Amino acid sequence: MGKCELCGKDGSRIEADHKELGRVMVCQECWSKLYEENSMAADIGSSGSSCAVCK
């Protein structure tokens, strides 16, 4: 738990690899935003989904 490093909102955070900011802890909303804007570094899937076929 803590504050989102982008919007400052309290709550659960997700680790994101931002292209410019590096590793940041952000809330679900900002994570989705980064994802949609393609602001994540390329290796997002490395710690999450293991399926290389269906993504």
Cβ proximity to Zn ion: between 20 and 50 the closer is: 20
SS3 33: helix
How far apart are the C-alpha atoms of 14 and 30, rounded to whole Å?
9
Distance CA 18, CA 28 (A): 14
Closer by beta carbon to Zn ion, 28 or else 46? 28
* Closest CB 35 distance from Zn ion, rounded Å: 13
Site for Zn ion in 1-55 (CB under 5 A): 4, 6-7, 9, 27, 30
Token reading at 29: 């909303």
- Least separation, in Å, of the C-beta of 36 and Zn ion? 14
